[in-house]
Amino acid sequence: MPFQTITPRPFTFSAIQIYAPVEAGVYGITNAREWIFIGESDNIQGALLDHLRDSGTSLMQHQPAGFVYETCAGEQRKTRQGRLVTEYAPVCNHARIQPEHSHR
């Protein structure tokens, strides 16, 4: 089952601060060609801002342009993240490049 909202918001500091909630859930980061990363966090906004600040990571080398998210309870996040990773096959999840960004 795809993300509930499929239209990405810009992957910029201002858009993340405006649109990403300070709530628990899952999020996806994409560019025009591929899904880059799907994560889960207690704080979606904080996790996205952390990714944006980590300029030297493989995630950022894929030139992220947008993000989507959906809120969900803590016990559902890991399951939902796993389903989305299976469906979208994001390049950084499969390479296990960003394990430190599984925010709890």
**What pLDDT, in 10s, does the model give residues 4-53?**
877 899 999 999 999 999 999 999 999 989 999 999 999 999 999 999 99
Domain ranges of the chain: 9-98
Whether the per-residue pLDDT at 98 is higher than 50: the answer is no
**Residue 67 DSSP label:** E
Phi, psi of 70 (to 5 degrees): -150, 140
pLDDT score of 17: 98
Q: 9-98 has which fold?
A: GIY-YIG endonuclease (3.40.1440)
Whether the per-residue pLDDT at 99 is higher than 50: the answer is no
Task: Pick the more confident residue, 40 or 2.
Answer: 40
Phi, psi of 42 (to 5 degrees): -75, -20
The residues pairing with 10 across neighbouring beta strands, listed in sequence order, are 66
The helix, strand and coil proportions of the chain, stated in percent and rounded to the nearest 5, come to 40, 20, 40
